[in-house]
Chain A
Amino acid sequence: MANVAQPRSQSSVPEGVAGALPASNRSAVRRLWPALTLLAWIAVAALCGCSNEPAPRDTHNAISESGDISSFFYQMLLWLDVAIGAIVIAAWGYALVRFKRATGDDTLPAQNHGDAKLELIWTAIPTVIVIAITVPMLVGVFRLAKRPDQNQQTIEIDVTGKQWWWEFQYKSGTANGLHTANEVHVQAGTAVVMNMTSSDVIHAWWVPRLTGKRDATPGRSYPLYFSAREPGIYDGQCAELCGASHALMGTKLFVHPPAKEVEVEYNGAKVKLDSYETWVKEQLAPAAAPAGADMERGAKLFKDKTCPTCHIVKGLEGAESASPSMTTGPNLTHVGSRMTIAANTLPNTADNLAKWILDPQAVKPGAKMTKIAMTPDEAKAIAAFLTSLK
């Protein structure tokens, strides 16, 4: 082993390429660049932290136990990662400053090929860490997959992802038979079983503050279990690329209080939330009969323009027979009670509804709703009728 000072080889370019820069520049660059890199990182990291934008969809501000499990592992691994990262980057930065070759130093450093003991240690330590983080993780996996107790009161909902909206069919308890779209309502503190499926491509239902996402796969049905704690309104959207309007396949989760109505904050405004049972009762009722000439005209136009081919309005004659095609579009029986239209894309106002009815593809690229020829006035009449379906 040539562990002694050796003159550099007689290669054709003696100083390597480092000779291409003037000496003063070189040393400045050498000294500064690790520090500068570190600074750049800290600056970017700080910039993210400094942004005081609110985070209404924060994945780590969970409202359910299953969301807490994800958050718990995030906190645990974050600290582990920060510790490991700090050690590695500190050792790296130290080495860059400490072990740079002094100008004119032609001696070779120690030519050792490794150190068995050291290598054993740094294989063993990660092994121990991996085991230590894997065991609690396995507990978490089985915990999340646990079906709520049979005897417990549960809300069971069949969820069907469709290009580009969500269909919800309630299967149990007082809400049995309730059929709605895009905005799903549950009761705080009650276990929920959502059976996810799809009728076209793969979607994934994700409300970040609630819990992790679950794929909605055509031809298969997979359950998602959760129990939301805090009454409130939470936004979410499809998380699996599902075509042109994937970005506009939103959803809303309403967590109702079990008993009395409460006031919750949503996007800086105060919103009243009824009790879950009140909401269920309202939604199960058939649509109110059109009141007044304007509403009757809207209802007639709704039927004349063939809207009931795809949409159900329970209680409206000619729009309530449950032919299979009638779930092609959302159930509109109580569309006026929803906060948004077109899958959480636009606020639910008569103007927005008219805009959507006139030209769906202008709102959502590739939207499957047929663009039916009508005048803006006719669209407004239909929109007014639909808005009245509270």
Chain B
Amino acid sequence: MAALSVFDKALEPVYHQEREVKYGLVDWLTTVDHKKIGVLYGVAGLFYLLVGGLEALLFRIQIAKPDQNIFVGDTFNGLVTMHATTMVFMAVMPLIAAFSNYFVPLMIGARDVAFPRMNAFSWWTFCFGSILLNSSLIFAEFPAAGWTGYAPLTTKAMSPSAGIDFWWAGLTMLAISSMVAGVNFVVTILNMRAPGMTLMRVPVLVWMMMVIQFLLAFSFPPVAVGLILLSFDRTFGTVFYEYTMGGDPHLWQHLFWVFGHPEVYVLILPSMGIVSEILPVFARRPLFGQHAVIFSGIFIGFVGFGVWGHHMFTAGMGPIADAVFASTTAIIAIPTGVKIFNWLGTLWGAKMTYPTPMIFALSFIPLFTIGGLSGIMHANAPLDLQQHDSYFVVAHFHYVLVGGALMGLFAGFYFYMPKVTGKLMNEALGKVHFWLFAIGLNLTFWPMHDLGNRGMPRRIYTYPADAGWNFDNLLATSGVFLMAAGTLVFVYNILTSLKNGKAAGRDPWDACTLEWLADSPPKAHNFDFTPIVFSERPLWDHKHTADMAIPVPAAAEEIHMPSYSWKPMWVSGGIVLILVGLLLLHTIPFSWLISVAGGLSIIGSLYAWVTEPV
């Protein structure tokens, strides 16, 4: 049994670094530090969470009552499209990337990711891509074909507005960003673990991050192909989705959903990981059946590639395809159930305290269970014919993504912010946030089950007063205001705790894993010495088990730290130029020269990248 204060005695490592660190704005533009990139992702994710929430608030106001005329037709469809696109690709995914960037290296005892400049490249590509996508509002109008962008509604003939062009261009950049990040983190987790951290000692959150990075690396290529085909159709007049000339609208649906369903697990698995980290800390005992939780996550990742057809039961794939996809989908229920039971097993016989991160993590269990149980209904193909594209399915995926993914991410924020900022977040505000949000989300999404049963299709901007949907819609819209208020309290809490929060110290929660060994906030090199791992709870056992103290070396380590670099941003900028040239192709003569300049600048920057000393 040893105290954490032994780590204070460790000597600072001796740096080998090619270039001195820059400061101020230049530092943020050129950083390759996984922690700073994580903060950038986090700030962007929170910003887009507010944007996507505002979009939802606006269109919910339009359908709060029947026969309203505030946001009509494609204005409404644009808000719906951008709400989903923003929440999936620009809010939840970057928030996951924030946790993954900041904490994966810390949790495995590494100093950075495997490819720090590629990591910066992922960030800048995401950043530029999200700006490009949203700039559609300035230069054209919002894309209005739904976040699923079903062809042929997205073709030039059906959607002449340039909104769709910004949509494919922006999403293509986000896809590149995710694929690169996927490869980077798989390599990091497999190769850079601290000595003694065997795969089965890797924390559950890191395991879930590794599963989703595989999913990103393998599921984004199909949708990237789909988007490129769409861009060819719209820009060069090819006919991949043009049925009159031999193209096939179903091609898009398959390419989209073979990405789209693994993507769902990309959104939910990290939150499952966060919950699996938080519950044991405040229950003060190990995660029940940790190996089962890890393997069920891996299993979900594998099977997740074989279920996409359940989004297409109404498309007419035929009974055999329907039967196969319905069966594979039902199988997902098994590993998911295993996870839920193991979390309950962790709580059973525990001695729990209930600070804000624990409250959010605990609420994940029943909220996600509700979403999972309605998912069992959708796996039933005959029943899904009724529920598909109805509000029932809207209720289902919002329980999973808001009650599940987002509540898990909120839990992660309250749990990990003290490590990032060195300051504890305010508990009272945290509880206010929780109550507003938890009540709001149930008030919003629970009545949507009823709306679906009453036959209300999704994505309709108006409905008649006699369809029987008035009461539920009013309830749903009122809940959105509570969620919005809760989110504002959350943002206020982050901002005030930066200034007034109590000092967190190294390990404010009496936690189990390596990230709490680092300072709060961690030094640029994370750890003064490379920790040696003896168990799946290295820090807990250091504190609580007599012969498992993490040894502190007497001598200072010599380490190599990567230097700042402009090159990742240049390469991302080159991609933007290529896309801008294509977007302007039919508007400004010779704009293809912009694309050529972008291509050349990518080649030049890549040459500078590989020859740059690090």
Whether the pair B249, A218 counts as a contact (CB closer than 8 A) is: yes
Q: Which of A64-79 contact B (CB under 8 A)?
A: 67, 69-70, 73-74, 77-78
A residues near B27, Cβ cutoff 8 Å: none
Whether the pair A137, B284 counts as a contact (CB closer than 8 A) is: no
**Interface bits A244-288 vs B (CB < 8 Å: 1, else 0):** 111110000000000000000001000000000000000000000
Whether the pair A44, B510 counts as a contact (CB closer than 8 A) is: no
Stretch at the interface among A138-146, A152-160, A170-178, A302-310: A138-146
A residues near B356, Cβ cutoff 8 Å: 17
A residues near B369, Cβ cutoff 8 Å: 84-85, 88-89
Whether the pair A101, B284 counts as a contact (CB closer than 8 A) is: yes
Given A16-B353, A18-B355, A20-B426, A145 and B455 contact (CB-CB distance below 8 Å): no
Secondary structure class of chain A's binding surface, majority of residues? mixed
Whether the pair A48, B446 counts as a contact (CB closer than 8 A) is: yes
B residues near A220, Cβ cutoff 8 Å: 243, 249-250, 316
B residues near A78, Cβ cutoff 8 Å: 377
Whether the pair A239, B150 counts as a contact (CB closer than 8 A) is: no
Selected contact of B362 from candidates A92, A204, A241, CB within 8 Å = A92
Report how far A290 CA is from B459 CA in the complex, Å.
Answer: 42
Q: Which of A204-255 contact B (CB under 8 A)?
A: 204, 206, 208-209, 211-215, 217-220, 222, 235-248
Whether the pair A212, B284 counts as a contact (CB closer than 8 A) is: no
Does A55 interact with chain B (Cβ within 8 Å)? Answer: yes
Interface bin, chain B: 35 or more
A residues near B323, Cβ cutoff 8 Å: 138, 141-142
Whether the pair A141, B382 counts as a contact (CB closer than 8 A) is: yes
Tell me which of B3, B385, B389, B541 has the highest count of chain A C-beta atoms within 10 A of its own C-beta: B385
Does B610 interact with chain A (Cβ within 8 Å)? Answer: no
Question: Which residue in chain A gives the minimum CB-CB distance to B505?
Answer: A12
Given A95-B347, A109-B350, A114-B290, A44 and B73 contact (CB-CB distance below 8 Å): no
Whether the pair B349, A110 counts as a contact (CB closer than 8 A) is: yes
Whether the pair A235, B353 counts as a contact (CB closer than 8 A) is: no
Whether the pair B338, A122 counts as a contact (CB closer than 8 A) is: yes
**Interface bits A104-119 vs B (CB < 8 Å: 1, else 0):** 0101111111110011
CB distance from B433 to the nearest CB of A (A): 13
Whether the pair A127, B74 counts as a contact (CB closer than 8 A) is: no
A residues near B475, Cβ cutoff 8 Å: 44, 47-48
Q: Which of B340-366 contact A (CB under 8 A)?
A: 340-342, 344-345, 347-356, 359, 362-363, 365-366
Given A11-B4, A213-B314, A114 and B288 contact (CB-CB distance below 8 Å): yes
Report how far A210 CA is from B340 CA in the complex, Å.
Answer: 37
Whether the pair B381, A365 counts as a contact (CB closer than 8 A) is: no
Selected contact of A137 from candidates B286, B381, B386, B442, CB within 8 Å = B381
Q: Which of B1-49 contact A (CB under 8 A)?
A: 1, 3-5
Does B309 interact with chain A (Cβ within 8 Å)? Answer: no
Selected contact of A213 from candidates B244, B389, B470, CB within 8 Å = B389
B residues near A240, Cβ cutoff 8 Å: 150, 314, 389
Does A57 interact with chain B (Cβ within 8 Å)? Answer: yes
Question: Which residue in chain B gives the minimum CB-CB distance to A15?
Answer: B353
Q: Which of B462-479 contact A (CB under 8 A)?
A: 462-463, 466-472, 475
Does B322 interact with chain A (Cβ within 8 Å)? Answer: yes
Does B557 interact with chain A (Cβ within 8 Å)? Answer: no
Does A23 interact with chain B (Cβ within 8 Å)? Answer: no
A residues near B146, Cβ cutoff 8 Å: 241
CB distance from B371 to the nearest CB of A (A): 11
Does A369 interact with chain B (Cβ within 8 Å)? Answer: no
Q: Which of B430-462 contact A (CB under 8 A)?
A: 431, 435, 438-439, 442-443, 446-447, 449-450, 452-462
Question: Which residue in chain B gives the minimum CB-CB distance to A243?
Answer: B153
CB distance from B454 to the nearest CB of A (A): 5
Whether the pair A100, B351 counts as a contact (CB closer than 8 A) is: yes
Whether the pair A2, B455 counts as a contact (CB closer than 8 A) is: no
Whether the pair B338, A126 counts as a contact (CB closer than 8 A) is: yes
B residues near A248, Cβ cutoff 8 Å: 462
Whether the pair A123, B338 counts as a contact (CB closer than 8 A) is: yes
Report how far A8 CA is from B1 CA in the complex, Å.
Answer: 11
**Interface bits B268-282 vs A (CB < 8 Å: 1, else 0):** 000000000000000
Whether the pair B544, A108 counts as a contact (CB closer than 8 A) is: yes
Selected contact of B314 from candidates A55, A92, A212, CB within 8 Å = A212
Stretch at the interface among B100-108, B328-336, B558-566: B328-336
Does B507 interact with chain A (Cβ within 8 Å)? Answer: yes
Whether the pair B144, A109 counts as a contact (CB closer than 8 A) is: no
CB distance from A43 to the nearest CB of B (A): 9
A residues near B348, Cβ cutoff 8 Å: 91, 95, 99
A residues near B1, Cβ cutoff 8 Å: 2, 6
Tell me which of B327, B386, B418, B431 has the highest count of chain A C-beta atoms within 10 A of its own C-beta: B386
Given A73-B382, A108-B544, A248-B462, A88 and B365 contact (CB-CB distance below 8 Å): yes
B residues near A119, Cβ cutoff 8 Å: 289, 292, 338, 341-342, 345
Whether the pair B314, A114 counts as a contact (CB closer than 8 A) is: no
**Interface bits B537-565 vs A (CB < 8 Å: 1, else 0):** 00001011110000000000000000000
Stretch at the interface among A29-37, A314-322, A328-336, A373-381: A29-37
Does A53 interact with chain B (Cβ within 8 Å)? Answer: yes
Selected contact of B286 from candidates A6, A80, A111, CB within 8 Å = A111
CB distance from A238 to the nearest CB of B (A): 7
B residues near A67, Cβ cutoff 8 Å: 386
Question: Which residue in chain A gives the minimum CB-CB distance to B446?
Answer: A44
Q: Which of A165-203 contact B (CB under 8 A)?
A: 196, 200-202
Does A40 interact with chain B (Cβ within 8 Å)? Answer: yes
Given A109-B351, A119-B289, A244-B74, A57 and B468 contact (CB-CB distance below 8 Å): yes
Does A151 interact with chain B (Cβ within 8 Å)? Answer: no
Whether the pair A214, B314 counts as a contact (CB closer than 8 A) is: yes
Report how far A73 CA is from B227 CA in the complex, Å.
Answer: 37
Does B614 interact with chain A (Cβ within 8 Å)? Answer: no
Selected contact of A122 from candidates B291, B341, B544, CB within 8 Å = B341
CB distance from B579 to the nearest CB of A (A): 25
Given A74-B383, A81-B377, A109-B285, A10 and B5 contact (CB-CB distance below 8 Å): yes
Selected contact of A235 from candidates B387, B438, B467, CB within 8 Å = B467
Report how far A237 CA is from B458 CA in the complex, Å.
Answer: 11
Whether the pair B73, A244 counts as a contact (CB closer than 8 A) is: yes
CB distance from B414 to the nearest CB of A (A): 9
Whether the pair A56, B466 counts as a contact (CB closer than 8 A) is: yes
A residues near B435, Cβ cutoff 8 Å: 36
CB distance from B256 to the nearest CB of A (A): 13
Given A40-B439, A73-B383, A6 and B427 contact (CB-CB distance below 8 Å): no
Report how far A239 CA is from B460 CA in the complex, Å.
Answer: 9
A residues near B507, Cβ cutoff 8 Å: 9, 11-12
A/B interface sample: 27 pairs, CB < 8 A = A11-B506, A13-B424, A17-B355, A17-B508, A33-B354, A48-B446, A70-B382, A73-B383, A91-B344, A92-B344, A95-B347, A114-B289, A126-B334, A130-B331, A133-B376, A137-B381, A138-B323, A141-B319, A141-B326, A145-B322, A212-B384, A215-B314, A217-B249, A217-B316, A240-B314, A241-B145, A247-B461
Known A-B contacts: A11-B508, A60-B453, A134-B330. Give 6 more (CB < 8 A).
A9-B507, A100-B352, A100-B353, A110-B349, A123-B292, A239-B390
Residues on A close to B: CB < 8 A? 1-2, 6, 8-13, 16-18, 20-21, 29-30, 33, 36-37, 40-41, 44-45, 47-48, 51, 53-60, 67, 69-70, 73-74, 77-78, 80-81, 84-85, 88-89, 91-92, 95-96, 99-102, 105, 107-115, 118-119, 122-123, 126-127, 129-130, 133-134, 137-138, 140-145, 196, 200-202, 204, 206, 208-209, 211-215, 217-220, 222, 235-248, 267, 365-366
Residues on B close to A: CB < 8 A? 1, 3-5, 72-74, 76-77, 144-146, 150, 152-153, 158-159, 243-244, 248-250, 283-292, 314-316, 318-319, 322-323, 326-327, 330-331, 333-334, 337-338, 340-342, 344-345, 347-356, 359, 362-363, 365-366, 369-370, 373-374, 376-377, 379-390, 418, 424-428, 431, 435, 438-439, 442-443, 446-447, 449-450, 452-463, 466-472, 475, 502-510, 541, 543-546
